[in-house]
């Protein structure tokens, strides 16, 4: 999402030097200037995709953000957030310049090694320790052997981040209609080898390998074999 904001010019005034002894002063915050915040907080004006914040003692990841400066009224930041505990998405609007707490979410690289019954088994890439997790929403774009990130919050694994982009096989989709091409419009549902269901172009058929953005859960293009 792109930033929509107005700009404000600042006029500097030059003062003649004073002959009186200099007295230490404290500089007050200046409106409109982004200051370095104390550790553990972030100004919403500094949001970036992927930043993790804490709201009501729950960790969230910023998926999308938009800075808005209306003609009248105060500026604000519109966001789309993902709750890392429930895996649910929500939209939230912040006042411009507002500060929020940073979520202390740690990431550790791990490989999805294999399935053991209904459990996903991951191996830490540094320590080679195994972590077992029950199936959750993150599993729908995860293939065996994939390198992903385990997310830790308060010392516990709360979620798994699949690779940003994954190549997956289409296992069930209505047949393409004759005449549909890569430049044509329209879409249809397709079930992928991991069980995920996404929208794909009409020309995609069963047995094709496609590239998917796991973050937005969207089709990108045909993958190279």
**Tokens describing residue 216:** 């937005």
Enumerate the CATH 2.30.30.30 domain ranges in the chain, comma separated: 41-102
CA-based R_g, the chain, Å: 24
Q: The pTM is what?
A: 0.62
pLDDT at residue 13, rounded to an integer: 39
For residues 183-192, average pLDDT:
84
CB atoms within 10 A of CB 132: 11
> Residue 210 forms beta bridges with which residues?
168, 222
% the chain with pLDDT above 70: 79
**Tokens describing residue 1:** 């999402």
What is the dotted CATH code of the domain comprising 165-222?
A: 2.40.50.140
Which one is the CATH code of 105-161: 2.160.10.10, 3.10.129.10, 3.40.640.10, 2.40.50.140? Answer: 2.40.50.140
Checking if the pLDDT of 175 tops 80, the result is: yes
pLDDT at residue 158, rounded to an integer: 87
**Tokens describing residue 77:** 């930041």
Which one is the CATH code of 41-102: 3.30.1370.60, 3.40.30.10, 2.60.40.1930, 2.30.30.30? Answer: 2.30.30.30
Place of tokens 């390198």: 147
Dist. CA 157–CA 136, nearest whole Å: 12
């Amino acid at each position: 999402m792109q930033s929509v904001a107005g700009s404000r010019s600042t006029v500097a005034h030059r003062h003649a030097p004073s002959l009186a002894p200099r007295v230490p002063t404290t500089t007050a915050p200046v409106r409109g200037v982004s200051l370095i915040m104390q550790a553990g907080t972030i100004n919403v004006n500094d949001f970036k995709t992927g930043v993790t914040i804490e709201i009501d003692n729950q960790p969230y990841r910023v998926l999308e953000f938009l800075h808005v400066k209306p003609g009248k009224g105060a500026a604000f930041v519109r966001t789309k957030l993902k709750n890392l505990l429930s895996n649910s998405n929500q939209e939230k609007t912040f006042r411009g310049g507002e500060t929020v707490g940073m979520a202390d979410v740690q990431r550790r690289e791990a490989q999805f090694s294999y399935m053991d019954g209904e459990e996903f088994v991951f191996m830490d890439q540094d320590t080679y320790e195994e972590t077992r997790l029950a199936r959750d929403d993150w599993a729908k774009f995860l293939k065996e052997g994939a390198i992903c990130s385990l997310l830790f919050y308060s010392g516990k694994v709360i979620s798994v981040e699949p690779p940003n982009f994954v190549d997956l096989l289409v296992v069930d989709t209505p047949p393409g209609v004759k005449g549909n091409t890569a430049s044509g419009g329209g879409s249809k549902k397709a079930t992928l080898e991991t069980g995920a269901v996404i929208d794909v172009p009409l020309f995609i058929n069963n047995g094709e390998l496609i590239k998917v953005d796991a973050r937005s859960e969207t089709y990108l293009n045909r993958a190279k074999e």
